[in-house]
A and B are shown apart, each in its own frame.
Chain A
Amino acid sequence: MSDEPRDATATAAADADAEVTGGLADRWASFRDREISTVLLTVVGVAVFPFLFNNFLDGYTQLATLMLIYGIFAVGFDILLGYTGLLSFGHAVFFGGAAYAAGIFSASVSSSPLLVLLAGTAFAVLLAWIVGFLSLRRGGIYFAILTLTFGQMSFYLAASPLAFLTNGENGFTSVDIGHLLGVIDIHGGVPFPLTMLVDNMLYVFVAVMTVLSVAMANRILHSPYGTVFRAIRENERRAEFVGLDVWRYKLMAFIISAAFAGIAGSLFAIEGNYVPLESLYWTESGRIVIMTVLGGVGSLFGPLFGAGLYLYIENIVSGFPTLGPFWHLILGVVFVVAVVVFPDGIWGGIDYVRDKVAGGEDK
């Protein structure tokens, strides 16, 4: 598994060479629209990210890992918010719930990272089916409030009545992660060629999951579901009156987004070997909304950038000498500026600049 990013990177480079010859813009456009290209771009992105981040942006690999984890969460959340137009204010229940499920599973059933990941994600999906079934009865603000309620309910349940399972306010500390496929120490270092890019196996594991998640999200958005979700966002009543079972599609959007939250939550437990109670708190639900909007709702890659920028300000900017203590304020200003100047978030801004540049070339 550790070979995968390297091989794919090599293929990407070869592909990119082939693209250079003739009609660059056209070739780029057709390259960009293919499914495999999206995957390759993601592979290249996650492969070079820690190197750039650590050397030029004062970053460190653990934060890069966390950025990818929240990136997965945000990519899934965007399927619900950006594509289907449903604002959930309780997605912490799937993120934190999956983290707890993964942690408890690792401590009492199996410590295999892949099984732990599967268990956490499965838990999030089941939970989403129930919460979605109940919350989606109402639309708009009522839906947001209902999801918020379920989120807070889970927080208080984990804090005290279920403390025998969750270890209450101290968070779940007995996470026990074994070797990947029995041989690879996930919290260890990486073999030689990879050391040029990253310094630990955990990042590689999370990066592979990120690529798979982006590939899945891309697949879903290019399936009939992608079109139906956007139709529901645009005009729910019309979608119902062309004969679509809008309610079931909304439930699917909810479950799919929760599955991504589940993957992210499980990785979060694996990454930290710990599940804090705060992972169920409503601020966690709020964070993912901000990350997604900041990155750009309705785009595939935007939320990854949103998650990255949010965590960058929270963790790096907060350590700057004079600016540091004001990081909340900075985050707020960035958010306001982003939303006012680029209503489609960072990705919308990138799109805008790219159109400008491409337009300039044409003329």
Chain B
Amino acid sequence: MTVLETERLTKQFGGLTAVDEVNLNIEQGEGVSLIGPNGAGKSTFINLVTRRLEPTHGEITFQGNSILGLDPHEVVQMGMSKSFQTASIFPELTVKENATIAALAAEHGSFRFNFFRNQNSYPEVEELANEVLESVGLYSERENQADSLDYGNKRRLELGIALAAEPDMLLMDEPTAGMSPDETKSTVELIKRVKQELDLTFLLVEHDMEIVFDISDRIVVLNRGSVIAKGTPDEVQDDPAVQEAYLGGVEE
């Protein structure tokens, strides 16, 4: 089953075409990486898919339904979650509260009229929050302020927030950016584990080639807004167009 599909997706900023007629299919359970040199249009593509930007033309369907015209939170409610490039958390709240917010959105939908109900009357929300914290290994930190976590743990929390929405698909924008080698390694392990456990479909934007080749089932290469290659890691690695554009023609 196709989870995400874009058809001739295009975004122009004035005279610049940042994303140019991109067709992309992501199947259920597949891990796809989007790579390309700086300015290739990766971030723009992610922003189009998450509905932060309005495409100039083209179509985006998620699980068979068009998501054009929806607000970002509606897309998330449909099952597409996003992990940000920086550790986008709620810094002055506790780790537990961070997870609770995501759990609230997952259990209650985008809006509810319940401002006179005590939060403790929703055990399912608390349960989900605890589950999420356990799965990203932050349960023991739950009473600490999110701010006080080290960077690697902030990113894990961020990933946890994204996972709490119980997404059918997860978009990850450079999940290991700014991490130490150890943190990177444990994050990659984490992603592999949740992918297996949740049968998670993901779209990854990443600069670190080692990670990309390690965890992707398929790779899509963008250059100047267009797809120049797609295929398995091996196919992409050997593609001359990719080597020319991305790897600078130098074989690794």
Give chain A's interface residues, CB within 8 Å of chain B.
35, 216, 219-220, 222-228, 230-231, 234-235, 237-246, 248-249, 252, 256
Q: Do most interface residues of chain A lie in helix, strand or loop, or is the interface mixed? A: helix
Contact: B91 with A234, CB < 8 Å?
yes
User: Which residues on B sit within 8 Å (CB–CB) of A231?
Assistant: 90, 93, 97, 101
Collect the chain B residues with CB atoms within 8 Å of residue A224's CB: 104, 108, 112, 114-115, 117, 119, 122, 125
B13 within 8 Å of A by Cβ? Answer: no
Encode B149-165 as 1/0 by CB contact (under 8 A) with A. Answer: 00000000000011011
Chain B positions within 8 Å of A227 at CB level:
93, 97, 100-101, 104, 119
Report yes or no: B118 in contact with A242, Cβ–Cβ below 8 A: no
Whether B161 and A238, one on each chain, are in contact in the complex, defined by CB atoms closer than 8 angstroms, is yes
Per CB-CB distance, the 5 closest pairs between chain A and chain B, nearest first, are: A243-B76, A234-B90, A245-B110, A243-B105, A225-B115
The answer to whether B89 and A240 touch across the interface, beta carbons within 8 angstroms, is no
B223 located at the interface, meaning its Cβ lies under 8 Å from any Cβ of chain A in the complex = no
Provide a sorted-by-A list of 27 A–B residue pairs whose CB atoms are within 8 angstroms. A223-B114, A224-B115, A227-B93, A230-B90, A230-B92, A230-B93, A231-B101, A234-B90, A234-B91, A235-B91, A238-B88, A240-B71, A240-B72, A241-B72, A241-B82, A241-B162, A242-B76, A242-B101, A242-B105, A242-B162, A243-B76, A243-B77, A243-B106, A244-B73, A244-B105, A244-B110, A256-B115
Chain B residues contacting A226 (CB-CB under 8 Å) are 119
Residue in A219, A223, A238, A249 whose beta carbon sits within 8 Å of that of B111 in the complex? A249
Within 8 A of A (CB), among B146-187: 161-162, 164-165
Known interface pairs A242-B164, A248-B111; A223-B73 also in contact (CB < 8 Å): no
Of the candidates A219, A223, A239, the one whose C-beta lies within 8 Å of that of B101 is A239
User: Which single member of A219, A234, A237 contacts B92 (CB below 8 Å)?
Assistant: A234
Which of B73, B117, B125 has the most chain A CB within a 10 Å cutoff? B73
A219 touching B118, Cβ below 8 Å:
yes
- Closest CB-CB distance, B62 to chain A, in whole Å? 13
Q: Which residue of A lies closest to B75 (CB)?
A: A243
Q: How far is the CB of A188 from chain B (nearest CB, A)?
A: 34
A-side contacts of B122, CB under 8 Å: 224
**B101 touching A225, Cβ below 8 Å:** no
Q: Which residues of A have CB within 8 Å of B125?
A: 224
- List, in ascending order, chain A residues with CB within 8 A of B104's CB: 224, 227-228, 244
